[in-house]
Chains A and B, each alone.
Chain A
Amino acid sequence: MPSTLVNMQQKNITVESIAATVPVVEIDKLNVYSKGSHILKNVSTVIPKNKITVLLGPSGCGKTTLLKCLNRLTDLYPDLKVNGSIRIDGEDIFDSRKDITAIRQKMGLLLQRPYPLPMSIYDNIAYGLKLKGIRSKKIISEKVEKHLKEVALWEEVKDRLKTSAQRLSIGQQQRLCLARGLAVEPEIILADEPSSALDPISSRVIEEEFIRLKSDYTIILVTHILRQAKRLADNVIFMYYGEIIESGPAEEIFENPQSEILKEYLHVGH
């Protein structure tokens, strides 16, 4: 980041546009292997700040694996061998001296299905805050309210904050999971097909939320739904069989695809 920053300041570019072009995530020659198969092949790319970057591609092309590399959830899978480098805010996340929990707290995660923690609605949001060392009940209560309002869930649950989160409907659960992720004040939101299990209304709430959130967060969204990608994407990374085929601003990718595979994919998706 420093060299880019200096160059841009020399050229007298405004602060906002610097923020808009500074890469948050830099991936360099990332390879992932699993039991003899090569899941990600030499992936290198950058993901810019305060944009929605969509990882697009057919099922099984490595989008989810790439997403899970970013907060090292790949550690959970003994079969995965990861090499290469990923820098987030210039920090190498594979550096074993770095505190992995702090790196993960920079990122909020939204999965295909919501997984509320086995506790009350209130505690689902308070949990992450307590991990960050926030003890004041007043601050926690304020944040619970703020983030539940942020995902348009407050009105529906304000009278039963102490009841189990696992009793909410699946759409409410997914919004709760988003609020839970936002409460720890991440820089980046990682979303893995977050609306694939939801009804159309809940999924629209999530999409609208993303558009509103991108002024404050960097959003990385995995999807195979072309229409969703078109509605949301600022940038698109198109993947196929573990490789990045094309990447760039959404208009360019959708209006002027270069490779045959992407043309085919866009055509079939129409």
Chain B
Amino acid sequence: MTLRRKWEEKFFHGLSAIVTLLIVLVLVHLVWTIIAKGASSLSWKVVSEPPNGSFYFTGEGGGFLNAIAGSFYLAVSAVILSFLVSLPVALFLNIYLIKVPRLLTACRFFLDVLWGIPSIVYGAFGFLILMYLGYRNSLGAGIITVATLISPIMIRSMDEVLKTIPIGLQEASYALGSTKTETAFKIFFKQAFPGLATAVLLAFGRGIGDAASVLFTAGFTDLVPHSLGDPTATLPLFIFYQLSSPSESVQNLAYAASIVLTLIILVVSITARLLKPKR
């Protein structure tokens, strides 16, 4: 090797090592910050009770069960709703649309664009529909908006998994006399199941952590919602509102909620990773 190539090699090796280290440091710092500020406020009480008394002024009295429950209701329902749309769409793309490669490429392109659209735009879109229908901020409206936000993510993630199914398996299925529907639901679905589950969890993680899409659509309340028509609190918005408080003890509750949200997403990510096929 010439000297120049040797230095080039050393330089880029060093550069990538430094950048990697930096990213890890940022992550550690972020986690450390929320733990340092939030851990002291985290207790069984704050995760098991809705706010009451002077909660928003002093940080005393009750907790943010309303936000935890709201986020779960919203994200789980949105994921179910989105799944009902995404699975058929992803299967359709890979079973029927492979005969029309141009249309398939166009569909994938538009889904990628939808994936990239900022969530506040989905929020504004959801809000417009809400106004048009004459509804108020509610769990139902939030679910629909979040489902719209996460569907492109779920469809494209499922699509990427289904793309990897070998053509030989499709040939084997058709050669046995399967119809396209049988191939889709009996062969593709089973073969891709771990990957499809990962796609669902990925979308769940995105849905539960998003603040902007629920800002105009789900509202905020101290109560745990009892029906789709009730407004609902969510963890991201809870964090947003508490952080704008001047009182430090209230701000720390936002960090406590951040820990809860981060833990939820961590659990989901680890589950997704465990489900990934090992082959």
Contact = CB atoms under 8 A, between A and B. Distances in A.
26 contacts: A68-B171, A75-B99, A78-B99, A102-B177, A104-B174, A104-B175, A104-B177, A105-B177, A111-B171, A111-B172, A112-B168, A115-B166, A115-B172, A117-B173, A117-B187, A117-B190, A118-B187, A118-B193, A119-B190, A127-B186, A131-B176, A131-B178, A132-B177, A177-B172, A180-B176, A181-B176
B169 interface: yes
A128 interface: yes
Given A78-B99, A115-B166, A128 B171 contact: no
A107 B172 CA distance: 11
Contacts of B175: 71, 73, 104, 107-109, 181, 190
A128 B172 CA distance: 11
A101 B101 contact: no
A184 B176 CA distance: 8
Interface in B93-110: 98-101
A72 B186 CA distance: 21
Contacts of B168: 111-113, 115
Interface string A37-78: 000000000000000000000000000000010010101101
B115 to A, nearest CB: 25
Contacts of A107: 175
Interface string A95-138: 00000011011011101110101110000000110011000000
Contacts of A115: 166, 168-169, 171-172
Given A73-B171, A115-B168, 17 more contacts: A68-B171, A75-B99, A76-B167, A76-B174, A78-B101, A101-B178, A101-B179, A104-B174, A109-B175, A111-B168, A111-B171, A112-B168, A113-B168, A115-B166, A131-B176, A180-B176, A181-B175
Contacts of A181: 175-176
Given A131-B178, A132-B177, A118 B190 contact: yes
A244 to B, nearest CB: 24
A107 to B, nearest CB: 7
Contact of B172 (A75, A109, A132): A109
Interface of A: 68, 71, 73, 75-76, 78, 101-102, 104-105, 107-109, 111-113, 115, 117-119, 127-128, 131-132, 177, 180-181, 184, 190
Most buried by A among B100, B171, B172, B193: B172
B191 interface: yes
Nearest to A180: B176
Contacts of B269: none
B181 to A, nearest CB: 11
A109 B166 CA distance: 16
B182 interface: yes
A105 B99 contact: no
Contacts, number: 68
Given A101-B179, A104-B175, A109-B175, A76 B190 contact: no
A111 B168 CA distance: 7
A4 to B, nearest CB: 28
B245 interface: no
B171 A109 contact: yes
Contacts of B166: 115
A113 B171 CA distance: 12
Interface in B131-183: 166-179, 182
A180 B177 CA distance: 12
Contact of A118 (B100, B178, B179, B191): B191
B170 A76 contact: yes
B171 A78 contact: no
B99 to A, nearest CB: 5
A224 B142 CA distance: 61
A132 B170 CA distance: 18
A134 to B, nearest CB: 12
Contact of B176 (A68, A102, A127): A127
Contacts of A180: 176
A131 B166 CA distance: 22
Contacts of A184: 176-177
Contacts of A190: 175
Contacts of B99: 75, 78
B213 to A, nearest CB: 36
Interface in B3-17: none
B172 A131 contact: no
Contacts of A109: 171-172, 175
Contacts of A75: 99
A41 B99 CA distance: 24
B108 to A, nearest CB: 15
Contacts of B177: 101-102, 104-105, 128, 131-132, 184
